[in-house]
Structure 1
Amino acid sequence: MVYEKEYVKPSPFYEVYDEKKKIIRCTVCERRCVLAPGLTGICWNHKNIGGKLYNIAYGLLSAVEPRPIEIKPLFHYYPNSIALTFSGWGCNFRCPWCQNYHISWSKPDPDKSIYMEPRKLVELAKKLKNHGLCASFNEPTIHLEYLLDVGEYAVKQGLYLTMVTNGYMTLKTIKYLLRHGYTGFSIDIKGCPYTYKKYLSANPLIIYRNTKTILDHGGHAEMVYLVVPKANDWRECYEWIIDNHLKYLGENVPLHINRYYPANKYYEPPTNISKLVEIKREAEKAGIDYVYIGNTPYEEYEYTRCPRCGKVLIVRRNYRVIKWNLTKDHRCPRCGYKINIYGEYIHK
C-alpha cells in the first residue's frame, strides 16, 4: 500500500530502543510496540520509517456524522448536546465481539477513506451547529497526532472535545489529550483480569489507573461495561468491576451496563436482561450512585434518579433528554443533592 504524503505525519511519541538497528518503541498506548524499520504497530496506524515513528493514516477517516452525546454513552456530560463524531481505522485491541469490527478490524486505506484536515473537521462542526466533537467507533488514541491538532482548533472555536475509548493509553498520552482540551471520556471496561488475559493480553488495572488520572486532572469520565455472555458476565467478574470502580473512581462516576449482541467472531446470544438488572442492583447496593442499563428497549433504565431521595431527575428517550428536573447548579430540587454533571444542559 502506497500512502500519499499528506497522510503521513511524523510522531514524537516514541523512544529509541536500539539506535544502531534503528529499532524504536511506540509510546502512544500501553502496548508499547517495539518496531524495527518498516514495521507497523498492532494498531496499523504507526510505523517505523528509517528509525523514526510516523502516523501513516493521519486524517484518514472512516466516518463523520453528528450524533447525540447520550449515544456514546455520556449521560452526565453536556446533556442533550450534539457532537460531530469521527473515526479512523484500526484498534489496539482485538475484541472478538467488537460491535464496530468493520472499522476497528480494518487497516487504513486511502481509497476507502474520507480525508479531512483538522481545521476542516472543526469548521464542519461549526457549520452544522454542533456543540462539540467526539472521536469514536474505533479506538481514538491510535490517531493521537490528529486528535491533538483537532483539539488545537476546536478549543479556539468554543467546542467541547470528547472520546469513546478502551482506555489503554499511556499516561503521557492522557496528559497531552487533557492539555489539548479533551474533557469527556466514555471508557470501556471489558471485564475482569480473566477477560483481559484470555481475549486481549492486557491489564485492566491500567484502565482504572488512566481513568483516575483523568478525574484527578479535572476531566469527566463514564465507564461502559458491555456484558458479554461467558466472557465477563459471572458474579466474581462483575463484582471485581464494581469493587475497582469504587476503589479507584468513586461512587459518583456513572457506570453503564450495556447489552451485548452477537457480532464479528462471537456468536453467543444477546445478554439476558435479567443478568443486566442483577448487575445493576449489585452495583447500586455496593454504593455506585449512577448505574444505567443500555442497548435495551427499556428506557426507564436510562433515567437519572437522585441518589439520596430517589426522585427522577432526567428522563431520556431515543438518546435525547425529554425531561430535566435539576436546579441551575445541578442539584435535586427535592433534597438538594448535588448531581455529577459536567458542562451545561443543552435545551432543545
Structure 2
Amino acid sequence: MKKARLWSLLEDGRVQCLVCERRCLIRPGAKGACGNYVNVGGELFHLGYGRLSALESRPIELKPLFHYWPNSTALTFSSYDCNFHCPWCQNYHLSFRMPDISQPVFSPEKLVELAVREGDEGLSASFNEPAVNFDFLVDVAEHASKRGLYFMLVTNGYFTEKALDALLRAGIDGWSISIKGCKGMQKPLGNIDFYVPFRNAKTIKERGGYVEIVYLVVTNTNDYEDCYRWIIEKHVTLLGVDTPLHINRYFPAYAWRKPPTPISKLLEIAEEAKKSGLRYVYIGNLHNPRYETTYCPKCGRPVIVRNNYRVVDWKLEKRDNEWKCKYCGYPVPIKGEYIPEKKWLGLM
C-alpha cells in the first residue's frame, strides 16, 4: 500500500478522504465507499495502488474522444471498484470488485515504458472509475509527461477540486467525462451532485485541458425532458458550444433490465442539443458512421468520417496552427495531432 496524498485526520481517529466529492469519513481499519482507500492507524493508505485489472492498447475514439489526438491509440488500464456503482454498469465485473492485496503492483515506470514499446501515443485510465486510483494516476502522469505521451481519463468527473488540481498539474490533459444524471434525479444515484462533473469540466477547460462530455441515456431513468434539458443547459453555459457532446445508447447490464434506449429518444435529445447551439453532437453505441461524423459547422460538409472507432476520412488542413475545414476554412477544434493511416488490429 502507498500512503495517500489527500486526506485529513479527525479527532476521533477517523480520517476524511479528499479524493472524490463523497469525502468519505473512514474509521480505523475500514475502507471508503470505493474500496480502495483504507484507514490504517489514523492514516489513509491507497490499497489499490498499481493493482491493475486490465491492460490493452485501444483507439482514442473508443473512449470516446473525437477531437483529441484523432486516430491515435492509448495504452488503456484499469483498477478495481468505483465510487458510484451504477446499477447499469457494463464493466461491473471490475467496478463491483475490491482490489486484491495479494496481487502484484504494476509500477508507473513500467506502465509508461510499455506504452512507448507498443507504439501508443498516450495512456488512458478507463473501464472502471479512475478516481479510485488517484495516487497511481498522479505518478503515472508525471512519468508519461517526461516521455512525451499524453494521458487522458474516462471518468465520472467526481473529483474534489484539490484532487483535480493535482491531476492537472501532473499533466493529465484529456478528459472524457460521463454525466450520469441531472439535478433532482432521485434514483438510483440520488446522493450524487451532478453539478460537480460540470464544475470540474469547466475548470479543466479554463486551465488548458481538453474535455468531451458523454451522456448515457438510460431508459426511464435520466431520459425525461427536464433531465436532458438541464444537462444541455449546463453544457452550453459552462463549457461552450464547441465542447463535443456524445449522446450514447444504453443497453441492459448488471442489475438494470430496462429496455435499450429508443433511437427516437436519442435523436430527440440530439436535436435539442443542436437547437441549443452545440456544434459537435454525436450519437454513440449505434455503430452508424452518420452519427459519428464531424460536419463543418459553417459549410456542413463531412470533415472527419469515423467507422469502427477509426478515422477513415480526414478533410481538415492545418493553417496558422489551427485545424480548418478544407472546403471553407472554418476552424474545427482539435487537441493534439492527427495520426494518419494508423490501423487498429483489435483488442490485445
Q: Same fold (TM over 0.5)?
A: yes
3-state DSSP class of the match of 2:173? strand
CA distance in 1, matches of 2:237, 2:227: 15
CA distance in 1, matches of 2:186, 2:109: 37
Q: Tell me which amino acid in the other structure corresponds to 2:330.
A: Y
3-state DSSP class of the match of 2:317? coil
Shift of 1:12: 2.1
Partner of 1:73: 64
Partner of 1:285: 275
Partner of 1:255: 245
Residue 320 (str. 1) matches residue 303 (str. 2)? no
3-state DSSP class of the match of 2:28? coil
- Of 106, 126, 138 in structure 2, the residue corresponding to residue 136 of structure 1 is 126
Residue 276 (str. 1) matches residue 269 (str. 2)? no
Partner of 1:11: 4
Normalised by the length of structure 2, the TM-score is: 0.95
Q: Which moved more, 1:82-91 or 1:291-300?
A: 291-300
Residue 162 (str. 1) matches residue 152 (str. 2)? yes
Residue 227 (str. 1) matches residue 220 (str. 2)? no
Q: Tell me which amino acid in the other structure corresponds to 1:50.
A: G
Q: String of CA shifts for 1:269-312, please: whole Å, max 9, x gaps.
A: 11111111111111011101100000013221000001122110
Partner of 2:42: 51
Contact 2:86–2:188 (8 Å) recurs in 1: no
3-state DSSP class of the match of 2:267? helix
Partner of 2:86: 95
Partner of 1:127: 117
Q: Tell me which amino acid in the other structure corresponds to 1:341.
A: I
Q: Tell me which amino acid in the other structure corresponds to 2:33.
A: I
CA distance in 2, matches of 1:195, 1:308: 37
Partner of 2:346: none
CA distance in 2, matches of 1:193, 1:102: 29
Partner of 2:77: 86
Shift of 1:199: 2.2
Shift of 1:99: 1.2
Partner of 1:208: 198
Shift of 1:196: 6.2
Listed as ranges, the gaps of 5+ residues in structure 2 are 342-348
Contact 1:197–1:203 (8 Å) recurs in 2: no
CA distance in 1, matches of 2:30, 2:173: 33
CA distance in 2, matches of 1:41, 1:64: 25
3-state DSSP class of the match of 1:193? coil
CA distance in 2, matches of 1:228, 1:82: 29
Contact 1:45–1:143 (8 Å) recurs in 2: yes
Normalised by the length of structure 1, the TM-score is: 0.95
Shift of 1:137: 0.6
State the 4+ residue runs in structure 1 displaced beyond 6 angstroms.
Answer: none
Listed as ranges, the gaps of 5+ residues in structure 1 are 1-7
> Cα RMSD between the aligned structures?
1.2
CA distance in 1, matches of 2:297, 2:185: 31
State the identity as a percent. Answer: 52
Contact 1:94–1:200 (8 Å) recurs in 2: no
Partner of 1:265: 255
Partner of 1:3: none
Q: Tell me which amino acid in the other structure corresponds to 1:192.
A: C
Shift of 1:200: 4.5
Contact 1:190–1:196 (8 Å) recurs in 2: no
Contact 2:39–2:45 (8 Å) recurs in 1: yes
Contact 1:36–1:48 (8 Å) recurs in 2: yes
3-state DSSP class of the match of 1:301? helix
CA distance in 1, matches of 2:331, 2:105: 43
Shift of 1:333: 2.0
Shift in alpha-carbon separation, 1:99–1:114, aligned structure 2, 3 A: farther
Q: Tell me which amino acid in the other structure corresponds to 1:318.
A: N
3-state DSSP class of the match of 1:244? helix
Q: String of CA shifts for 1:198-242, please: whole Å, max 9, x gaps.
A: 424111111111100000000000000000001111111111111
